Structure formats: structure tokens, C-alpha cells
Amino acid sequence: MPNITEKHCRAEVKERIKIYDKDCSGLYVSLSPTAPPTFSLKYTCPITKKRGAHRLGVYQQGEQDVAYWRKAAARLKVRIDNGEDIAQTARQARSLQAKQADITVGEMIDCYVAWISDEIEHKRQTDQGKIVKIKPRMKSHEELTRHLNRFVRPRLGRMVASEVTNRDIAQLQADILAGTLIANGKPLKASASSARHMRKAVSRLFSWAAEVGNDYVTASPCVNLPKLPKEEARKRKLSREEIAILWHGLDRPDITIDRRIRLAIKFALTTALRSWELLHIHRDELQGNGLADKHPLVVVPEERVKAGRELHQPLSDLAVEIAKEAMGNYPWMFIGRWDTEPLNRKAMACALRGNKASDGRVRSVGLCEQLGLKPFTPHDLRRTAASLMGSIGISRATISLCLDHTIKSDDHGAVAAVTGKHYDQDPRLGEKRAALQQLANEIRRIISEPMEAADDEMRRAA
């Protein structure tokens, strides 16, 4: 048996022949008058024990010559000797290549959204035993879906997913920061926060595509992206004078904003709860005798809590007073317009800032403008409550408990994160109840002061 030579591969033949290599058993070249010389390897599959032939590639003088394919065959034989079914590997590679060639980013987004919103069993161990709930695979699926559709789909939706590069993601980020990204026919407002949301969403999408989503891509392009500008921490909080103006303003008869939304704003300041946590409070979440209980308590389910755990929040006498007026005989504490579901989570934000049409026409004047207050958001009420508790001497560790934050230190020093996460499971209701009642007492004191004094202070500040 001769060795395959360059002369064999360059020679013209009148009929199809095979020449086997002496030095590399199983390697042969197929010569044809109508096709270029093609190298293949005959082998025995270590799993099925069947004989087969694996096509290596086409001869090219100078680059992929005889020596090149002889080395390629030797490497392949090592993989076979190690027990690999190279035919199965090749089939998987062809399938992966077909998927990557066909699927677009828009189609991949649809698959990912279906996956994260798919309802599955979630198991959690409690004192009462193991609890199994059927809920979406990912808690933040609605937010991720919104960001993908708003920022990623308009620009990358029609691109083949495997062809998206780091440069494409970087350019998308730059356009969001510059306010030049077009979505639904108009440019989006320049925002570092939006760029951050986009990066988080697209990174999760491509990581899923590479690891879970049927190998739509081999690797995520969301690496080594330009750094985003540092986002300034929000510091807006209401002063005591502003609290008085807001509280009394919410009771003014000339304010046309729905009374239930105004009560929700008061409740947010009094309880330090997030909008999503308080607006959907159901009667079943009130423990004991509900609002008539000696120690009223609301247990917000983990689905509505940022930390993903049940939140036990005591209610002060002021919070109970507000809740009784708001709830009445309805199942939810803050019922929506049609009395069939709770208030929308954006109801308070929209009421505070007002509503403008796309052409700039004012549909409704915001509460802040009506009361002459510097604009603020519902979350600023939470910051105001925390600051107010701090000003009356409540420790930061206790304020953290009321805000449902992880306590990193207390009066005795640093606290290990694992302690609060896995070991100390006591909700500290006594401490929280006392702090929230002190907050309510301080709010009562502030709103009981004459409004004339508050107005003078506001005028001097202006």
C-alpha cells in the first residue's frame, strides 16, 4: 500500500478511485474526474462497534495538503481511541449550525420569554413543612420582557442571533445613552438607567441561549462592554414642612385625584412599604382579626417582595386608620377604578407627576404641581419615612428591619450575611411595631402643627 502523495492529488483521473495511506491506517483520498480530491477516514465506532467513514475535507495545494489531512486524521483517531462517537458529534455540530443560521434575536426573545414565564413548581421549607407553589420560573419575567421588547428587539430583532457581536451591543448601549435609539417610531429618552436595564436583559438572554436555550449561540457577546456612567444616588426626601403640606393637601376638596390613590400615598409614608407591596394588599393577608386585631399585622407574600421572602409588617394606629377608610368592604385595601382588582402599581406615580400626551398636551396636572411641592416619587416616601425614623433616634438596624433590608451591622458590630439569610429567621415584630408607631406619632405631631408656620418655612426656603 503506497502513501498518498501530492502527485496523486494533482493528477487527472478518468474514473473515481480511492487511495489509502500506508502511514495513517484508515485514511484515504477519493479522486474523481468531476470533483476535487476529498480526504476521509475509515474507523470503527467505539460505542456501536460498527465500521464507518468520516469525511475530513477537500485537498487544497499549499494550505490543506496531504500532510495537513494526515495530521487531522491522527487527531481524530485519538478522539476515537478515547471513546468518542465522532459521527454523533458531527450530527450535533450540524444541528447546532442549522439552529444558529436560522434563528433571529426576535425569535430567540420569544423563546426566552416563554421559558422565564412558564409556570413551574417552586418548593420552600417552612415551619409548617414543605410548601409547593405553582408560579412563573422567574419572578422578574414581566420586567425582563418589557426591557427586551423596548430596547433590544427594535435594533437587534431581525439579526441572526449567532451573528450578534460585542460591537452591536456596545453600539446599542451608546445609542440609548445618546437618546438616538428609535422604538415605535420615536427616539427614546437618553438614560443611563435604561442602558443598565438593557445590558442586564440582553446579557440574561444570550447567557440563556448559550447554556439553556438549545445552544442558539456558542457564547454570549455581552462581554467587555464599555463602562456605564455612574448613576447618582437619589436623595430626594420630604422635609417636615413638605410632609405637612402633602398630608393636608391630600384632604383638600379641590384635589380631583381619586381618594383611594391619595390614601395609598398616606399609607406609603406611614408604613415605609414599596408600591408593589402595599397596593395589592388583600384582606386575606391581614393576620388575626384583620384591622380590628390588637396587634394588626400584614404578611406580604414573597411574590410581591423584592427580597423574595415573606414580609411581616406591623401596622401603626395611623396606618390602621388609613386602611379602614380605604378598604371598606372590598377584598383589597386599595381597590381599582372598576372595583374588580387592586390599584395599578403605577397609580401613585402617575398621580404625583401628572399625565401628558405624546404631543406635550397636559391631560392631568400632577399632585406635586397642584400642591406646589418639588417633584418626588412614591419611593421617595419610603426614604422620607426612613429619614424621619432616624431623626427621632431609631437605630439604623431597626430602620433596616422596617424597610426589609439585610442587616449588615447592629449595635454590637458587623453581622455576617449568612446569619440573617439562613439562621436568624425571627421577624422582630416587637422592634418593628415600636419603630413604626414612633413614626406614626411623629407624623401626627408634624401634621398637627399650624399650617401657617409650614407655609412660611416653604416660602423662606424658596
Same domain, 392 and 321: yes
Of 77, 95, 113, the residue that ends a domain is 95
In a domain, 207, yes or no: yes
Same domain, 31 and 135: no
Burial class of residue 394 in the structure, from the number of CB atoms within 10 Å of its CB (0-12 exposed, 13-18 middle, 19+ buried): buried
**How far is Cα 259 from Cα 7, in angstroms, rounded to an integer?**
93
Give the pLDDT score at 135.
81
Residues 71 and 122 in one domain: no
Residue 176 forms part of a structural domain: yes
pLDDT of residue 376: 95
Q: Is residue 46 part of a domain?
A: yes
pLDDT score at 234: 84
Domain range enclosing 21: 6-95
Q: What is the pTM of this model?
A: 0.68
- The torsion angles phi and psi of 418, rounded to 5 degrees, stand at -65, -25
Residue 109 sits in the same domain as residue 73: no
Q: Are residues 260 and 406 in the same domain?
A: yes
- Per-position pLDDT tens, the chain of length 462: 678 889 999 888 889 899 999 888 899 999 988 888 999 999 998 888 888 888 888 998 888 899 999 999 999 999 998 888 888 887 777 666 655 567 899 999 998 999 898 888 777 666 666 777 778 888 888 999 999 999 999 999 999 888 899 999 999 999 999 999 988 778 888 999 999 999 999 999 999 988 875 668 888 899 888 999 887 878 899 999 999 999 999 999 998 899 999 999 999 999 999 999 999 999 999 999 999 999 999 999 988 888 878 899 999 999 999 999 999 889 999 998 888 899 998 899 999 998 876 666 777 889 999 999 999 999 999 999 999 999 999 999 899 999 988 776 666 566 666 655 555 666 789 999 999 999 999 999 999 987 654 455 444 333
Q: Any idea how long the chain is?
A: 462
Cα(66)–Cα(5) distance, integer angstroms? 7
* Beta carbons within 8 Å of 85's beta carbon, 6+ residues apart: 45, 46, 47, 48
- List the one residue out of 133, 109, 106 whose CA is nearest residue 121: 133
Clarify whether residues 122 and 170 are in a common domain: yes
In a domain, 345, yes or no: yes
Q: Which alpha helices (H) appear in 285-340, and where do they start and end?
A: 317-327
Residues 111, 88 share a domain: no
Residues 124 and 244 in one domain: no
Look at residue 426 in the predicted model and tell me its pLDDT.
65
Name the H helices within 123-181.
141-147, 153-156, 166-178
The answer to whether residue 222 sits within a structural domain is no
Residue 277: left if φ>0, alpha if ψ -120 to 50, beta else—which one? alpha
Distance CA 8, CA 32 (A): 11
Q: Decide which of 72, 95, 118 is a domain's last residue.
A: 95
Residue 435's CATH number? 1.10.443.10
14 within a domain of the structure (yes/no): yes
Domain co-membership, 275 together with 369: yes
| Within-domain flag for 373 | yes
Instruction: Please tell me the predicted confidence (pLDDT) of residue 453.
Output: 47
Instruction: Answer yes or no: do 113 and 89 share one domain.
Output: no
**Domain termination residue (choose one: 52, 67, 95):** 95
For residue 48, the domain's CATH number is 3.30.160.390
| pLDDT at res. 459 | 41
| Domain co-membership, 185 together with 299 | no
> How many domains in the chain?
3
- Tell whether 410 and 261 lie within a shared domain: yes
Q: Is residue 216 part of a domain?
A: no
Pairing, β 409-410 against β 362-365? unpaired
Q: Quickly count: other Cβ atoms within 10 Å of residue 181's Cβ.
A: 24
Q: Write down the pLDDT at residue 457.
A: 45
pLDDT at 318: 97
